[in-house]
Amino acid sequence: MRFYLNEASVQAQFPTKEQFRKDLEEIMAARSRSPQLAAMRTTPKLADRLVLRDQTFRDVVRSWKGLPLARAVMDWVGRTGPFLEADRLDEDQDLFQCLGVEVTEGGLGESARRQKAAETVAALSFAGGTPDFAQSPLSVVHGFEDEPLATYAIANFWSADAAAAAAVAAAPLASNWRTMVEAARITYPSLILPDALYTDRRLAREPFDAIIRDRFYALLQILDGYMRSRDADGAEGPASQDILRDYFQGERALFSPETQKTQNKYDAELTFSKPDGVGTVLAHWHGKISHRTYRLHFDWPVPAQTKKLTVLYIGPKITTK
């Protein structure tokens, strides 16, 4: 699946630089997780689009000089790309429009040309403009709107996380432990899933199992949902409280702690190195996979100021000796 950034959706609709920065941070984070979004084509013309009424994309990003975000964004948009101009398809009758806006030279125009060539494509847009491109699919008209040569329905996203998840869904299913974890990083951005999950010999020596993969994803979806439903200060709202009630409470809860006796007996086995390599954590809270008796251990509870939950182990049940 090829992704194209819809630069036409940047229309001075942002009330503040901070709101625009939030959207850009989500896009850059998704690009770091997803190879498909890392390869998303854009155009240098994006830098000249108005973000605020009197400031362009370039103006706003340069005002963040010194921040890693500014450098990464300008490297992408201003220098390294990839740019759609580098491999643009030829079209004899080269005119494309969407929602009354000519998009021939931009991401939507190339998306339509690619779809015409039977390629699988999608667009990523910013929401809130006039017209508002936060809709899917987007109808891209080839030719004049009153005399169209053809119309192409382009899958469109206005959430980078949703785009990354769609890219995973369109890709072949993971067929080994490593790709299982790598795909999960894209789909569940509120979780930290270190390489140690698949390099751990307790899992690495086990034959891959698609049932384990699917149950692993089901557990991660619940944990990711809990993190997403907390507010900016880490407070648990109604949705996160529902998750705790449904999956963390009761004798048959899907997630539960080890007993104190078990913690004492298996203290070493339940202690994991932190992903940053600084220190260790006792992770006795676990999610249950009944098939082949697997467990998923994670750092719990999550402090209010922590934005991502860390998963530290996936593999055969540890406390069985």
Q: Are 127 and 161 in contact (CB under 8 A)?
A: no
Q: H or E segment at 153? A: strand 147-157
CB atoms under 10 Å from CB of 204, counted, come to: 13
Q: How far apart are CA 139 and CA 103, in angstroms?
A: 12
How do residues 82-120 score in pLDDT, each as one tens digit? 999 999 999 989 999 999 999 999 999 999 999 999 999
Q: How far apart are CA 248 and CA 241, in angstroms?
A: 10
How do residues 206-250 score in pLDDT, each as one tens digit? 999 999 999 999 999 999 999 988 988 889 988 899 999 999 998
Q: How far apart are CA 97 and CA 104, in angstroms?
A: 7
Q: Up-side HSE of residue 216: CA atoms within 13 Å toward CB? A: 34
How do residues 1-21 score in pLDDT, each as one tens digit? 899 999 999 999 999 999 999
Two tokens, residue 159: 């959430």
